[in-house]
Amino acid sequence: MRFNISDSFAQAVEESIQTNISLASYNTFRFAYCAEYFAIANTLESLKALLQWANHFDLPVTMIGGGSNLLITADIPGLVIINRLLGMHAKDRGGNVVTLTVAAGENWHHVVDYAVNKGWFGIENLALIPGTVGAAPVQNIGAYGVEIKDVLARVQVINTASGDVHWINALDCGFAYRDSHFKHQWKDTRLITAVELSLKKKGSLTLSYGGLSNILKPEPTLKEVFELVCRVRDEKLPDPKKLANAGSFFKNPIVSEAQHVDLKKRFPTMVSFPFEGNFKLAAGWLIDQAGWKGKQYQGVGVYDKQALVLVNYSDDTAQSLLALETQIQASVFDLYGVLLEREPVRLPSEAVVEDVLI
Ligand SMILES: Cc1cc2nc3c(=O)[nH]c(=O)nc-3n(C[C@H](O)[C@H](O)[C@H](O)COP(=O)(O)OP(=O)(O)OC[C@H]3O[C@@H](n4cnc5c(N)ncnc54)[C@H](O)[C@@H]3O)c2cc1C
């Protein structure tokens, strides 16, 4: 153990831990399951002390940022830590590059807004994605042809067993479409405490994806792209503060070229994009064409402006949503032979439940 925390500080942190706290306001689906133990980490030192405490009692740890990519389906055993590590620091590297080091609890959109106002290129297409900076690499957030991996230099992590803090090069994080090692071999063992973004003072804009160039005037500015992304997202996606949701509920499925040819013959208007030698299908189109858009089911439903988003009108538990998910997956599979994979992370994770059962 290398936590190195003074007894008085550890005691103060321990006193801040609460029991049996509802997580309704800590997940954007607003499901009202409880955390067995609950604490907020405002500093790296308090995060270390919380991990040390959980290790001492052999409790599993779950970190939550903004709760905008979660599907909580039961009470969470062990310690739930809400990440509120704050701070941001920019360094001009000379030439065209600025590095922006940001603590993991900062709001992602505020960072995008800050960078755009400074005139720094690289993350403008990722505007208005809810949640924290620390969760952004977990699923390698992406929108309008840009992913965080495109601008990420390094990720700072804390080892949950030892308390060691170190930097990992972005190339070693296993980034892929909505995926990284943080969802697999590093899940619950390495928590992200900061990220280092590499931005450009003079850069090119990515306008090819999602029809941005069709709406923009020729040669748009950085600020115009940012504002358009915000406007399009505002029109298309429900604001979780007004209507509970976790954004896209399913990933866009990836199919082989042969399967794509076959599907295109049967469904000529199907929306798809070439993707790393295969094809990515627009899951929203598949669900929409299967007749689900706007459908409601026992307190939950499919958003009427974007079929990829499932919404919670009134439920405290996730049962109806899980049933709706199964029905949508079955109907899309029957129609197209394609299995839709869920995007939000289900909590408690199986590992945490198994830990407690042993
Ligand atoms: C309206 C809406 C629109 C969205 N649009 C997009 C989009 O365009 N593109 C996109 O990619 N996503 C989108 N999302 C999903 C979501 O905003 C992102 O995945 C975001 O990065 C989640 O951040 P969060 O802080 O809310 O994470 P949380 O939901 O709190 O956590 C998500 C996962 O990351 C883990 N985690 C959280 N913080 C850390 C940390 N510091 N270290 C290690 N693990 C951690 C959690 O344990 C959990 O497994 C959208 C969501 C909503 C509600």
Q: Where are the domains of the chain?
A: 7-83, 88-233, 250-342
CATH number of 250-342: 3.90.78.10
Q: Minimal CA–CA distance to 64: which of 49, 84, 87?
A: 84
> Which atom of ligand 1 is closest in space to residue 143's alpha carbon?
8
DSSP single-letter state for residue 358: -
CA separation for the pair 119, 277 (Å, rounded): 34
**88-233 CATH:** 3.30.465.10
Alpha carbons 297 and 153: distance in angstroms, whole number: 44
Decide if 88-233 and 250-342 have a common fold.
Answer: no
pLDDT at 192: 98
User: What is the pLDDT, as a whole number, of residue 44?
Assistant: 96
* Spatial distance between the Cα atoms of 111 and 99, rounded to a whole number of angstroms: 12
- Our answer to whether residue 178 is catalytic in this structure is yes
CA 29/CA 32 separation, integer angstroms: 9
Second-level CATH architecture of 7-83: 2-Layer Sandwich (3.30)
Distance from chain centroid for Cα 285: 22
Query: What is the distance of C-alpha 328 from the center of its chain?
Result: 22
Question: φ, ψ for residue 279 (rounded to 5)?
Answer: -130, 140
Q: Are strands 309-312 and 244-248 parallel, antiparallel or unpaired?
A: antiparallel
- The pLDDT profile of the chain, 358 residues, written as one tens digit per residue, is 456 677 888 888 889 999 999 999 999 999 999 999 999 999 999 999 999 999 999 999 999 999 999 999 999 999 999 999 999 999 998 899 999 999 999 999 999 999 999 999 999 999 999 999 999 999 999 999 999 999 999 999 999 999 999 999 999 999 999 999 999 999 989 999 999 999 999 989 998 876 687 777 778 999 999 999 999 999 999 999 999 999 999 999 999 999 999 999 999 999 999 999 999 999 999 999 999 999 999 999 999 999 999 999 998 999 999 999 999 999 999 999 999 999 999 999 866 555 655 5
Of 248, 272, 320, 325, which is the active-site residue?
248
Q: How many CB atoms lie within 10 A of CB 323?
A: 13
User: Is 343 an annotated catalytic residue?
Assistant: yes
Pocket test for ligand 1, best of 38, 48, 70, 129 (most atoms within 8 A of CB): 129
